[in-house]
Amino acid sequence: MDMQNKTDRAVEVLVIGAGMAGLLAARTLKEAGREPVVIDKGRGLGGRMATRRIGGAIFDHGAQFITARDVRFAALLEEAGGAGAASEWCKGFSGKGDGHARWRGVPGMTGLARYLAQGLEMVQEKQVEALRLSEGGWKVEMTGGESWAAKAVILTAPVPQSLVLLAKGGVVLPEEWKGRLEAIRYERCLAVMAVLDGPSNLPEPGGLALNEGPIAWMADNQKKGVSGEAAVTIHATPEFSLEHWEKDRDEAARLLLEAAAPWLGAGVKTVQVHGWKFSKPVEGEAEACAVVHRAPKLVLAGDSFCGSRVEGAALSGWAAAEAVLA
Ligand SMILES: Cc1cc2nc3c(=O)[nH]c(=O)nc-3n(C[C@H](O)[C@H](O)[C@H](O)COP(=O)(O)OP(=O)(O)OC[C@H]3O[C@@H](n4cnc5c(N)ncnc54)[C@H](O)[C@@H]3O)c2cc1C
């Protein structure tokens, strides 16, 4: 048998990425009677809506809160809230706030992702290496040599990563998209998770945007309601993250904790650092998704489109599903 052409599995629509965009794309396809399969290289669901446990302390270390300007997305958050998978955290972080709801996942951000994934077929810890046009569909090559066939693909990795998969499979981008997609850049973010030996000094409701010096944002996961133990997330600014990306991460954490000391107000018991290489798009694409191939369908979606937020990813996921169904 020719191993080169061996197909390990054939699927109708493959959704690559189990973040907000991929999950909502798959839900929409499923509601329309299709049989989507969602594949993700990660162990958990949610992508950058990420929650990590260190002992008894729990951290949201990616997306911190979710805002909803779009009526449909607001209704989805209300629905998840009703099911106990999301709740309103606050209406702003300074003084009386600005009146706009900031939502969080329950118990953490990944709780919302798990809720959205209900009823969907999920394949985790499988990484796509390349997408290749093959007769009547897409050949999806995985790390380790597995190969799948898909009639249509929705690709929701950050666009710079998606373009690598397409280049490896020799997919030629249409002229209308090539320059625009290649121009999309992402900021990096070093995230420090610190378990404290007592409550932090961060004011209620536990979130603080600094955006000066090395720190962009700090959150007290205990005041937020995510963690039973004192657990603070610190996000470095894009400038600090870039400068320290290749350097000693322990040293970067030390500098960030030093700058955070006035708000910590307690001893640090344990520290972990996570680097988000693709944190938020510097400038995204205004269109809701990119149909880069019509027959067979290949659609790029995610927060590179519709705004650099969870809500943008959601709107883009919906648009991608509609493009596949069209
Ligand atoms: C530190 C940080 C703070 C943030 N704060 C906020 C905030 O407060 N509010 C807000 O609204 N937004 C925030 N964001 C942005 C928000 O997290 C994203 O906009 C949103 O979660 C993106 O969703 P997505 O589905 O487009 O992508 P992702 O969540 O990145 O999902 C893409 C998925 O694709 C998978 N994948 C990638 N490549 C492959 C491959 N080759 N094979 C298989 N799987 C693959 C990844 O594992 C990932 O799970 C923050 C982001 C970061 C990093």
Sorted by where each begins, the domain ranges of the chain are: 3-45+117-184+283-325, 51-114+186-281
Q: pLDDT 10s per residue in the chain (326 long)?
A: 344 568 899 999 999 999 999 999 999 999 999 999 999 999 999 999 999 999 999 999 999 999 999 999 999 999 999 999 999 999 999 777 788 999 999 999 999 999 999 999 999 999 999 999 998 899 999 999 999 999 999 999 999 999 999 999 999 999 999 999 999 999 999 999 999 999 999 999 999 999 778 999 999 999 999 999 999 999 999 999 999 999 999 999 999 999 999 999 999 999 999 999 999 999 889 999 999 999 999 999 999 998 889 999 999 999 999 999 99
Q: Kindly give the number of the ligand 1 atom that is closest to the alpha carbon of 312.
A: 19
Residue 215: the pLDDT is 97
Residue 29 sits at φ, ψ, to 5 deg, of -65, -40
Question: Whose CA is closest to atom 49 on ligand 1?
Answer: 47
Residue 131: the pLDDT is 98
Residue 2: the pLDDT is 42
Residue 172 CA to residue 153 CA, distance in Å, equals: 15
Helix-helix angle 310-325:20-31, to 10 degrees:
30
- CATH number of 3-45+117-184+283-325, picked from 3.50.50.60, 3.40.50.12780, 3.90.1170.50, 3.90.226.10: 3.50.50.60
How far the first Cα of the chain sits from its last, in Å, is 37
Q: Kindly give the number of the ligand 1 atom that is closest to the alpha carbon of 301.
A: 26
Distance from the CA of 251 to the center of ligand 1, in angstroms?
Answer: 26
Distance from the CA of 186 to the center of ligand 1, in angstroms?
Answer: 11
Residue 46 CA to residue 67 CA, distance in Å, equals: 16
CB atoms within 10 A of CB 325: 15
Distance from the CA of 62 to the center of ligand 1, in angstroms?
Answer: 8
Question: Whose CA is closest to atom 26 on ligand 1?
Answer: 302
CATH fold for domain 51-114+186-281: Polyamine Oxidase; Chain A, domain 2 (3.90.660)
Q: Is the pTM of this model over 0.85?
A: yes
Q: Kindly give the number of the ligand 1 atom that is closest to the alpha carbon of 67.
A: 11
Beta strands in 125-199 (DSSP E): 128-134, 137-142, 147-155, 186-196
DSSP-H helix ranges across 149-230: 159-168, 175-182, 221-224
Question: Whose CA is closest to atom 50 on ligand 1?
Answer: 63
Q: Kindly give the number of the ligand 1 atom that is closest to the alpha carbon of 165.
A: 41
Residue 283: the pLDDT is 86
Pocket test of ligand 1: the residue of 15, 24, 45, 48 to mutate, having most ligand atoms within 8 Å of its CB, is 48
Helix-helix angle 109-116:71-82, to 10 degrees:
100
| For residue 158, cis peptide bond before it (omega within 30 degrees of 0) | no
Residue 117 CA to residue 186 CA, distance in Å, equals: 26
Residue 42 sits at φ, ψ, to 5 deg, of -80, 165
Residue 93 CA to residue 89 CA, distance in Å, equals: 10
DSSP, collapsed to helix, strand or coil, labels residue 269 as: strand
Class of residue 292 by CB neighbours under 10 A (exposed 0-12, middle 13-18, buried 19+): buried
Question: Whose CA is closest to atom 31 on ligand 1?
Answer: 19
Residue 173: the pLDDT is 96
Q: Kindly give the number of the ligand 1 atom that is closest to the alpha carbon of 279.
A: 53
DSSP, collapsed to helix, strand or coil, labels residue 140 as: strand
Q: Which residue has the tokens 């796509």?
A: 128
Distance from the CA of 55 to the center of ligand 1, in angstroms?
Answer: 24
Residues 6+ apart with CB under 8 A from 279: 48, 186, 187, 188, 189, 238, 241
- Which residues line ligand 1 at a C-beta cut-off of 6 Å? 16-22, 39-42, 47-49, 62-66, 127-128, 156-158, 161, 165, 189, 191, 235, 276, 279-280, 302-303, 308-311, 313
